[in-house]
Chains A and B, each alone.
Chain A
């Protein structure tokens, strides 16, 4: 085998929000180093400067068309915090409903539209699952691709009933929401959830009831569930997992092994007059930092947050608290892999260094014991991650 390092530039990498390029160094068929370059700068921070305080409700959701509700929640939360607002209980519930409707939309859209279409790549044609995968998941024509992509539009109808449209509503405002739902909105929303559950989650995705699925608490429980019935094994989740193992997704994708989440979903009785320091004790889904090397969880304290700008095209000092950012783009943005090579900045912690955020991080954090007893706890992914060692590919896609 050759000892030589081969460098591969991939431009563009598709199916991510924003333009992304990746460079990898490959040695003996294994990626030994990688650089990701975010290749788009719009400067939302600069656009918002000196504008109406409520401009954030219009502009920040438009940072991303996929997760606008998260941005809107944060924008409204920032104003609630600045102005020490009281928010009616029902308004908090309406905001959370909007946020969750957006997340539900993401499940089938991400899996079919963005992720599982890679499993029908002809490189996997020797897998015993391949033929079935093509039948189900081939873009546009696969049976479950079509069903999944089409049904992904249903949950956000709930968002539209609350906010008028998805994506890009601004219905969450400091002190509450703009809407005042009626019997029609509530009944239709409920019924949409039932439809989504019956026609996708239970019959296509899981092959069982949600109640049965929720009994799964550990990796062993999950494997036992797979074996319990061909319906489980042949559901899209079952098949995605089994095919993932067959094509080796559990063998690669090592990350930093250190994770962070701010937590989310304000608790309807604990949110009022929010403060920066009190954020974690106001959310249903707990915040946290998980360090895999020492297997420890702790609450995420914002004062330790750092943004690492060393590799990013900004004329600013290396590592700062986000409050101290200025957003000074440098105009000559050549890709210098020893220096600066991307518009994105890296998430860091004053004590723990660089951290990974995202769905896997959130799930790992729910596996800890650091949260309040009324906060969400769920050990499945945490157990799965530990039992599967450091590999993240299959566990990540599972999240």
Chain B
């Protein structure tokens, strides 16, 4: 049995809503089949007011063993580092977060706001938001670069806006069944099992990517979204096209460019004018190239691809 506490800071509840879409295991299965005891969860907990405070205090004092602390949402520091713009159970949320992270065996940052700051931390970051152990790409965040939970592990980052329910449930099961030690984390403390491959891995538009055939406008029934519409699939680490969303699809399959939401910079370019759903180029070459590919290599590759392109690639392929 593992006790789990879940709180939300500068959050939208999207990770909770995503979590509730889980199947195999479902949220209920976690409780009934995998021995996870949910002490409290903002959208599901029975308790209110002082009863919630008591649960939190018992976790902090050690009277209740806190095995897993899940935090969703950014840590709000405004105004002027006090955190008063996000209060919870009678005090700034950030004070609870500090004490609970220090008491927990495992700390999980869930979603972009909790991992890197996410949308709230987009310039001008009005709420002075940070992630638990990162702010964008910079290690540190709220808890500091040196933080480790009682288990000895740093914050486990499950990014995404929101995170996919299976990324959450599988990590929770691994942790609750004593397998946290076998999780391999990357330099951003993301579980490699999900974040080593790319969003592009498994995308249905890969053939069009290979022949440099572009979807030039939304809704076209062919093409790849990289060349004109700003898809970040080749530069983004996520399993969105391996572990499908809501069991059925992914953004790029449906025709929406990947926004790179599992990477620390999301939303990219701080959403400056001209950067949304538009590939950024210098002299016709994309500024951000597929991971590990250099400019010379890219020009050679696309030259060869164009030359080899079969005629069918320009015809509709995802037809009615």
Binding site for B on A (CB under 8 A): 9-15, 17-19, 21, 39-44, 46-48, 50-55, 57-59, 62-66, 68, 91, 109, 113-114, 117-118, 121, 139-141, 145-146, 149-150, 152-153, 156-157, 159-171, 173, 176-183, 188, 329, 331-333, 343
Q: Is B194 an interface residue (CB 8 A)?
A: no
Q: Is B45 an interface residue (CB 8 A)?
A: yes
Contacts of A166 in B (CB 8 A): 21, 245-246
Complexed CA–CA distance, A167 and B21 (Å): 10
B252-269 to A contact mask, C-beta < 8 Å, 1/0: 111110010000000100
Contact: A54 with B218, CB < 8 Å?
A: no
Contact: A329 with B85, CB < 8 Å?
A: yes
Complexed CA–CA distance, A162 and B218 (Å): 13
> Nearest A residue to B275 by beta-carbon distance?
A52
Q: Which residue of A109, A171, A331 contacts B255 across the interface (Cβ within 8 Å)? A: A171
Complexed CA–CA distance, A343 and B127 (Å): 13
Q: Which residue of A14, A181, A329, A343 contacts B52 across the interface (Cβ within 8 Å)? A: A14
Contact: A58 with B219, CB < 8 Å?
A: no
Complexed CA–CA distance, A66 and B11 (Å): 11
Contact: A159 with B246, CB < 8 Å?
A: yes
Q: Is B76 an interface residue (CB 8 A)?
A: yes
Binding site for A on B (CB under 8 A): 8-18, 20-23, 26-28, 31-32, 38, 40, 42-49, 52-53, 74, 76, 78-80, 84-90, 93, 119-120, 122-127, 129, 161-162, 218-221, 240, 245-256, 259, 267, 270-277, 318-320
Contacts known (A51-B270, A176-B218); A41 close to B249, Cβ less than 8 A: no
Contact: A167 with B218, CB < 8 Å?
A: no
Contacts of B123 in A (CB 8 A): 47
> Nearest A residue to B40 by beta-carbon distance?
A14
Contact: B254 with A55, CB < 8 Å?
A: no
Contact: A152 with B20, CB < 8 Å?
A: yes
Contacts of B17 in A (CB 8 A): 65-66, 109, 167
Contact: B254 with A171, CB < 8 Å?
A: yes
| Min C-beta distance of A173 to chain B, whole Å | 6
| Min C-beta distance of A213 to chain B, whole Å | 26
Contact: B267 with A149, CB < 8 Å?
A: no
Q: Which residue of A59, A180, A182 contacts B220 across the interface (Cβ within 8 Å)? A: A180
Contacts of B87 in A (CB 8 A): 11, 19, 21, 39
Contact: B15 with A65, CB < 8 Å?
A: yes
Contact: A58 with B259, CB < 8 Å?
A: yes
> Nearest B residue to A138 by beta-carbon distance?
B46
Q: Which 8 A-B pairs have the closest CB atoms?
A: A65-B14, A43-B126, A164-B251, A160-B246, A165-B245, A164-B254, A153-B21, A331-B79
> Nearest A residue to B277 by beta-carbon distance?
A54
Contacts known (A14-B43, A42-B120, A153-B21); A164 close to B252, Cβ less than 8 A: yes
> Nearest B residue to A170 by beta-carbon distance?
B256
Contacts known (A59-B119, A168-B161, A182-B318); A10 close to B16, Cβ less than 8 A: no
Q: Which residue of A12, A14, A46, A169 contacts B256 across the interface (Cβ within 8 Å)? A: A169
Besides A18-B13, A42-B127, A333-B79, 6 other A-B contacts (C-beta < 8 A): A12-B52, A12-B88, A42-B126, A118-B46, A150-B26, A331-B78
Complexed CA–CA distance, A161 and B319 (Å): 15
- Count chain B CB atoms within 10 A of each CB in A63, A113, A121, A164 and give the residue with the most: A164
Complexed CA–CA distance, A170 and B256 (Å): 8
Contacts known (A14-B43, A62-B119, A178-B256); A164 close to B10, Cβ less than 8 A: no
> Nearest A residue to B79 by beta-carbon distance?
A331
Complexed CA–CA distance, A55 and B46 (Å): 37
Contacts of B76 in A (CB 8 A): 40-42
Contact: A160 with B320, CB < 8 Å?
A: no
| Min C-beta distance of B316 to chain A, whole Å | 9
Contact: A51 with B219, CB < 8 Å?
A: no
Contact: B250 with A165, CB < 8 Å?
A: yes
Complexed CA–CA distance, A343 and B79 (Å): 14
**15 A-B residue contacts at CB 8 Å?**
A43-B120, A47-B120, A47-B123, A114-B43, A140-B38, A141-B28, A152-B21, A161-B248, A161-B254, A163-B254, A180-B219, A180-B255, A182-B319, A331-B80, A333-B85
Contacts of A113 in B (CB 8 A): 20, 43-44
Contacts of A21 in B (CB 8 A): 87
Contacts known (A145-B28, A163-B254, A163-B256); A12 close to B219, Cβ less than 8 A: no
Contacts of A41 in B (CB 8 A): 76, 78, 85-86, 126-127
Contact: A160 with B10, CB < 8 Å?
A: no
> Nearest A residue to B244 by beta-carbon distance?
A160
Contacts known (A11-B90, A19-B88, A182-B320); A160 close to B256, Cβ less than 8 A: no
Contacts of A39 in B (CB 8 A): 86-88
Contact: A10 with B26, CB < 8 Å?
A: no
> Nearest A residue to B222 by beta-carbon distance?
A180
| Min C-beta distance of A345 to chain B, whole Å | 16
Contacts known (A42-B120, A168-B162, A180-B219); A153 close to B246, Cβ less than 8 A: yes
Q: Which residue of B127, B249, B271 contacts A165 across the interface (Cβ within 8 Å)? A: B249
Contacts known (A19-B86, A51-B273, A65-B162); A180 close to B126, Cβ less than 8 A: no
> Nearest A residue to B160 by beta-carbon distance?
A168
Contacts of A181 in B (CB 8 A): 320
Complexed CA–CA distance, A46 and B21 (Å): 31
